[in-house]
Structures are given as C-alpha cells and as structure tokens.
Structure 1
Amino acid sequence: MAAKPIYVELDIQTDMETLWKATQTPELHQQWDLRFTEITYMPRSGDREPQRFHYRTRIGFGMDIAGTGETKAKTNLLTGERISGLKFGSPQRISLIRSGSGYWKYSPNGGSVTFATRYTYDTRFGAAGRWFDRCLFRPLFGYATAWSFDMLRIWLEKGIPPSVSIQRALMHYFSAGLLALLWVYQGLVPKLLFPGGGELAIMQAAGWFPGGEKPALALLGASEIGIGLLAAAAHRQAGVYIVQAALLLLLPAIALARSPELLQAPFNPLTLSGAMAGLCLLAFWSRRELPQAGRCLRKPRGSGKEEEPKWHPYTSGR
C-alpha cells in the first residue's frame, strides 16, 4: 500500500508576488523552510527549461543529506492561480528519501493567498524503511512542513524574520518545558516518593496540619504534578503563567512566614521559587507569535481528495 502524500494548506494575508518571491527565491526559501539548510539554483538556458537546483539539509553529527531537483512553474490565466511543480531526489545511501515529486499551489483569495503543497516520495531500505517512514519520518516531515508554512505566514504578515521565530520558539519550549518539569519533580520526588527527606519535617515544624501532615503533603505533591502537566499542555495560554506566578509568590511566602529559618538553607523556597518565576516570565514573553503547525489544514477543502491539479506543469502537457 502506497504511503499517503503529505498535504499542507494555509491562508496568508499577503499578495501573490510577495509570496512567490519568498518561496521561489533560494536565499529567502531556505530561511523559513525547516526541511532545507541550503538551496542553490543551477544556471539554465532559457525560461522554458525547468529550474534545476541542489539542496542540502544538516541532520546533525556533522552529516548532511544532499540531493538535486527541478521545478517548473505555470499560471492559470482564468483563475490567476499559480503552481510550481517539483521533482527531487538524493543519491546518498544514508538518505531515507530516494526520489519524490509534488507541487506548490498559490490561489488568490480576496486579500490573501491560499498557499498549499502536496508531495510524496519513495524510500530506501526496503520494508524497514517504509515502516520507519510511515510511523515516524513522514509524520515529522509533514509537521515540519506545516510549522514552516506558519513561520512563513508570520514573516509576511507580522514582519518577524524566521530566525527570530526560531530563536523565540527554542526559548519558549526550553523555559516552558523546564518549568513544567520542575513542578512535576517537586511534587513527585520530595513529597510523594521521599517525604522523609525534609519536606515532611518542614510541614510538621510549621504546624499547619497537626497529625495530618502526610496526607496534606501528598495532596500538595499531587497538586504540583497537576500544575506541571497543565503548564505543559497549555503552554501558549497567558492565564497558565498568571496562575503559576501567583503560586510561586504565595507558597514560599506562607512557608517563610511560618518558618523564617528556612532562608538559611542552601536550597530554600525563595531561591527555588525565584528561579521558577524567572522561567515563568521567559515562557510568558516568548509565547507570542509562535509558529503553530496546527494552524494549517492537512487535508484539501471540500471533497478532501488529494489529487494533483489537472493543469500541473509536469502532467498537463500544456
């Protein structure tokens, strides 16, 4: 059974020429498309010839995947739509993708342009390669395509360069992820798994729940785990950070009011809450205008059939 083609569609509030330039100029294209590190056009003899190119993608550990391709454009004079057909492939033995094809379609839509792509490819490594592609690589490749499309939208609509979007995304996911991890750790390890390590003694010394310190500590631990999971799930929502900031101010204030000597400890509620509050502020600030793959459609509108347009430059013969 053939693998399902990757389809991504997004409305972008821009004009046709601006979008065309951002997607058809190699120096601009490689800035927003996570799938490519470098794209180089090759010389061609005339406008009727397909535009051939080399591409390269860094995969880490000092290794690159390189390949070649060609693209050919066509305009539908009746509707104003444009389509850019694509063929690509890599001769490298380490490349999962052997060869593929697809298109980019540009459809005028009032004050915006509907930008869509559909592509698929053949894989190497036999049944193992097909299984790996279907279960992991193709979903990630589709996600990267959609995320890149939204990064392009932010660039053209908001004027935020892709490099800034990538830096902001790394900052946000690191700070939000570490903040959520700290909440879960503080609830699970010192309160539920090892309460005798000091948390129980602190609660007993405070005298908040005489005789009921253990269940109270367990409830507090479960609550902190819940906050961490909620913070991870709703990391784009401003209200989540407002709640966290309030708790990070309230909890250490209560503890220190009842037991001021806690300030003498090397790792006390004030230092921990202060560090977490800093992460909270960083995640709150960096959440703005983040690219989201979920903004893109992953199936065509209407019938949902993933068929190539009849006037595709490589199949129409016109």
Structure 2
Amino acid sequence: MGLYIEARIRADLDELWHRTQDPAHHQRWDLRFTEIAHLPRAEGDPQRFRYATRVLPFLTVAGTGVSAGERERPDGTRTSALRFSSPHPLSLLAEGSGYWRYVPDGDGDGVRFLTGYDYRPRWGAFGALTDRLVLRPLMGWATAWSFDRLRLWLERGVTPERALRNWLLELTVRALVIAVACTGLGLESALLLLGPFAASMAYACPLLLSVAVCGALFAPPRAHTPAARRCLRTPPGRVRAPRLLGTLESPR
C-alpha cells in the first residue's frame, strides 16, 4: 500500500469500531470526506456506500465504494477493507483500495489503529506528477491529522468540531506571530536612528524575533489540538494487505 498511518488510541475497542464504521460518526472526524452514506444492500453482500468531498466551496466530487469488515478474528484483532472509485472528471483519484486494522495492545490499555491504502490517479503523466508532488503528501497529512482528531474525541472527549476550531485558532496565532515578527524585522533600521538605547534594542530584535518565529513554527501543538505529527507514518515492519481486501470487487 502506498500510504500508511498508525495511531495509538487509549479507548475501548467496541467504541473505536463504532465511531469508525458508522458513517454519521466517520464523516465528522475524517477530514478527507464531507459526506458518507451507506447504500441499500442484500443480506450477506458487502456494504456499498457513497462518499463526497468538498474540494472548493463550489466544487464537490463524489464516488462510490464497497466495504466489508471482520469484527471477530481468532487473534482478537479486527479488520475493515474497502475499494472505491470516482467517475467525476475533476477527481484526481480515479480508484483505489485500502484497509483499517484494529490491534489491541497487549496490556489492554488501548488499540493500535492503522490504515494502509493506495489509489490510481487520472490525467495521465500530469496527474501522476501532481499526485506525487501535491496530492499524496496532502492525503497522508490529512489522514494522520484525522486519526489524531479521532483520538482526541475518544480519549479526551474533544468533539471533532471543537478540535477543528482549536486547530484553526492555533494556526491563526502561529501565523500572526510569524507576520508580526517579519514586520518587526523592518523596524531595525528605524531604531538605529533613535539613540543608543534604541540602537541596542535594534541589535537584539533579530534574535528575539527569530526565537518567536521558531516557536511559532516548531512548538508542539496544544494537548487538545489535533496534529498529524503524533501519528506514525512509516510501517514498523513489512505490511500486508488483509485477505479480506481480495474478496471485494471494484464498485465501478
């Protein structure tokens, strides 16, 4: 699989399963989707679903998928697999597949919640380049950020909506600090003309402002703010897609 994300979540396995398998909950914490809805199915068939993502205020791309889950496995883990495709001509993601794994920790204190997925971009060579440089890094970040938002919801009771507000507020504060620091650098020349004390401040300004910029860029996020950096982005060892994925046909 092309992308791998893993989060350790201190939560009940059943509750984690519910908030990831129920579309009404899933669309609340997963930044990659605006809407997810199950479609009618016959008894024993895989679950089909429709998804939509608002790319711009005036542009929404949609697609369909098929999924199946193994809630009871001999080793105590759980698995969910899916295949998806989008016929929308403006969707760079043409089709793909992936899985979720739920692996209880040995000490019973949480769950390793991980995903592996890959997809085929459209638009030929241009699409492949755009995917490699822009979309794939963005999808990896959005998945990790969403996993941490889910963790905050389960561990700390921070709703997905509140988590998003916290993130936007923190992002705004960091951006303001950087903007003020960059503006302050332009005052150095003016301070040099205002006397010895002001001149000494002028020499200290770049250092202080550099410290402020570094703090805004690299300070760890607040405990109630979701952050992609908290998730593992490289598999700890060799990773195999579950056999369940091979049983699913393309939803096209």
TM-score relative to the length of structure 1:
0.73
Residue 92 (structure 1) aligned with residue 23 (structure 2): no
Distance 1:26 1:42 in 2: 11
Partner of residue 29, structure 1: 26
Deviations 1:39-68 (A, max 9, x none): 01111111x211111111111141001111
Residue 297 (structure 1) aligned with residue 228 (structure 2): no
Partner of residue 216, structure 2: 232
Deviations 1:93-150 (A, max 9, x none): 1000000001011112222111111000001111111111111110110110001001
Deviations 1:221-256 (A, max 9, x none): 32233123222233337xxxxxxxxxxxxxxxxxxx
Distance 2:178 2:170 in 1: 12
Unaligned runs of 5+ in 2: none
The secondary structure found in structure 2 opposite 1:115 is strand
- Preserved contact between residue 181 and residue 228 of structure 1 (Cα < 8 Å): no
Partner residue of 2:76 out of 70, 77, 80: 80
* Structure 2 residue identity aligned to 1:200: L
Distance 1:69 1:233 in 2: 38
Task: Quote how far apart the aligned CAs of 1:294 are.
Answer: 1.6
- Preserved contact between residue 32 and residue 143 of structure 2 (Cα < 8 Å): yes
The secondary structure found in structure 2 opposite 1:314 is helix
4+ long deviations beyond 6 Å:
none
Q: Larger deviation: 67-76 or 220-229?
A: 220-229
Task: Quote how far apart the aligned CAs of 1:76 are.
Answer: 5.2
Partner of residue 204, structure 2: 220
Higher strand proportion, which one?
A: 2
Alignment identity in percent? 38
Larger radius of gyration: 1
* Structure 1 residue identity aligned to 2:109: G
Partner of residue 306, structure 1: 239
- Preserved contact between residue 41 and residue 53 of structure 1 (Cα < 8 Å): yes
Distance 2:180 2:37 in 1: 44
Higher helix proportion, which one?
A: 1
TM-score relative to the length of structure 2:
0.91
Unaligned runs of 5+ in 1: 238-286
Partner residue of 2:12 out of 15, 22, 41: 15
Residue 57 (structure 1) aligned with residue 73 (structure 2): no
- Preserved contact between residue 4 and residue 116 of structure 2 (Cα < 8 Å): yes
The secondary structure found in structure 2 opposite 1:79 is coil
Task: Quote how far apart the aligned CAs of 1:16 are.
Answer: 1.4
Higher relative contact order (CA 8 A, sep 6+): 2
Distance 1:185 1:154 in 2: 35
Aligned residues: 246
Deviations 1:272-314 (A, max 9, x none): xxxxxxxxxxxxxxx332112122111222xx223213xx313
Partner of residue 256, structure 1: none
Distance 2:65 2:132 in 1: 23
- Preserved contact between residue 180 and residue 231 of structure 1 (Cα < 8 Å): no
The secondary structure found in structure 2 opposite 1:208 is helix
Q: How does 1:21-170 map to 2 (within 5 A)?
A: 21-46=18-43, 48-75=44-71, 77-109=73-105, 110-170=108-168
Distance 1:45 1:61 in 2: 36
Residue 199 (structure 1) aligned with residue 191 (structure 2): yes
Distance 2:71 2:226 in 1: 29
* Structure 1 residue identity aligned to 2:191: E
Q: How does 1:177-188 map to 2 (within 5 A)?
A: 177-186=175-184, 188=185
